[in-house]
Amino acid sequence: MAVFSAPSFDQHELVAFCEDRSTGLRAIIAVHSSQLGPAVGGLRMYPYADDAAALDDVLRLSRGMTYKSALAGLPVGGGKAVIIGDPSCDKSAALLQAMAGFIDSLGGRYVTAEDSGTTVADMAQIAKHTCYVSGLDSHGGGDPSPYTAYGVYCGLRAALRQQRGSDNLDGVRVAIQGAGAVGSHLARRLIEDGATVLVADVNPTLLTPLQALGAEVVEPASILSQPVDVLAPCAMGAVLNAETVQQVRASIIAGAANNQLATPAQAQQLADRGVLYVPDFVINAGGIIAVYHQRQHGGALSADAESTLLQHVEGIGDKLGLIFKRAAQQSCPPHAVAEAMAEEVLLAQGRQAATEN
């Protein structure tokens, strides 16, 4: 398995591998950049088809975290970790302890948090064996999912303002792919504001509470092609590929999933079809913003601290407004503009560091 020549390798500072035969742990940690600060990113557990798929995911995710934190104005770098395995049957206290040891061995170059396949309880277990973990109940509420969902909600409304001149959600049809922690929170907010919500998930038990609130349940295979105003991918990444972008009937794509585009080419393909694709690493930054604020306070957030956190998350909408404006001026997809803006932040930090040295 190649690393340096892997398609998603992008001058990553560190890619570390761990196998612990006694617990079955097989994991990869990738630090894309620590230019803005220690690398922070979630720990994903997923039954990848093979090692190459796991490597590609952790490389893409860690790069996305660098850009996400840069545009969110956070003094942290981009990192990510993945465990190869099925969280429903392969996860154990011993495996999490071994993962904590792996994280700890990097001496703080990577700070973990929950992600797909891991929970706040898992982070508490890991925290027994390393201090390099965020998203704990003792760090201000733990679960960042509601803040991720709130950021997507703010970004979705910014996209509506851009396209329609109004962010009124009355009668707006939104299709949500994935009813997990983030997707369900987003669905509830949208329903409360008068939107018509369609939702799909491979786990039908997650759909029942949303259906009781008025959401329409559709089959997972048809969610991308629903005739809606907004498509919100909130499950796994790479759902928008050369084939599926032709099936999209929404005029806006604004969701929480990381790396929704299979390749950068899909950004242009969507733009050519008149679809406004909201860059995922901008709109889904609410979670890392929450993790940062929680870690800064080291305990339950006061009312003032919570207000500051929410204002920071609400700034996602303003940031997207600037991205949309630049994209229109440059006749360029918003995704490419957002990446360029993140690189501007990193370049400015590099110049400042060089001056100080």
Task: Give the closest residue to 218 by CA, choosing from 257, 174, 186, 259.
Answer: 174
- In sequence order, what DSSP letters do the residues of 303-352 get, joined into one string? HHHHHHHHHHHHHHHHHHHHHHHHHHHHT--HHHHHHHHHHHHHHHHHHH
Q: What is the DSSP letter of 302?
A: P
Q: What is the DSSP letter of 133?
A: B
- Say how far apart CA 172 and CA 251 lie, in whole Å: 11
Task: Examine the residue annotation and report whether 68 is marked as an active-site residue of this protein.
Answer: no
At 333, list the tokens: 């997809």
> Residue 73: left (phi > 0), alpha (psi -120 to 50), or beta?
left
List of residues 6+ apart from 90 with CB closer than 8 A: 24, 45, 47
> Residue 272: left (phi > 0), alpha (psi -120 to 50), or beta?
alpha
Dmax (CA) of the chain: 60
Q: Which residues of 222-253 are buried (b: 16+ CB within 10 A; e: fewer)?
A: ebbbbebbbbbbbbbbbbbeeeebeebebbbb
Q: Are 266 and 224 in contact (CB under 8 A)?
A: no
List of residues 6+ apart from 275 with CB closer than 8 A: 245, 248, 250, 251, 252, 253
> Residue 24: left (phi > 0), alpha (psi -120 to 50), or beta?
left
Query: Which residues partner with 27 through β-bridges?
Result: 18, 83
Among 80, 128, 319, 325, the active-site one is 80
Single-letter code of the amino acid located at 232: A
**Positions marked catalytic:** 80
